[in-house]
Amino acid sequence: MTTFLRRLLAALALDAKVFEEVEADRRATVQALAVVLLAAAAAGIGNAGIGSGVPAIIGVVAAVSLAAWTAWALLIYMLGTRIMPERDTSSDLGEVLRTLGFAAAPGLFRAFEVFGGTRWFVLPLTSVWMVLAMVVAIRQALDYRSTGRAVALALLGWAITVGVALVVGLLMARPVS
């Protein structure tokens, strides 16, 4: 099994050891980016459905997903290293991006939303799974001893990111008359 596939499967299983491994391996940056890009593409596929305009919808949703992940990751880095560090917190942006990149692995399953009537199940499941993966990734990347602090940071980052995305979405939506 390739290193990438092993890491991907371990991240899906929420294995803290793999998050510690990718945190320390600078060569894992490309792999983490691949996970994020694949998860964004899966969200695009899942949201596009089948019909006209599918490529455009896939592209837009993938771009929005990528932007949301990037904002979340940067927010986690800033809050985790500057506002909510623990005494032992020692991390750089690369370490955080690598671990959070692999935490996006459950997003690969968002492609299954393409099948009619599955979105009500797949979206909440993958969202919760990604938050759990983020908690493990945050704990490893920021050297937190407290899982509670990692949960608080993951949820705070998620809430801010979703809130901003909703506001932007509302501002960009066409008015219905």
Question: Rounded mean pLDDT of the chain?
Answer: 88
pLDDT (mean) for 71-100: 93
What's the average model confidence in pLDDT over 84-111?
94
Residue in 61, 55, 96, 99 with CA at minimum distance from that of residue 79: 96
Q: Is the pTM of this model over 0.85?
A: yes
Model confidence over 5-16: pLDDT tens digits? 999 999 999 999
pLDDT-above-90 percentage for the chain: 58
46-80 tens-digit pLDDT: 877 655 556 777 788 888 888 888 888 999 999 99
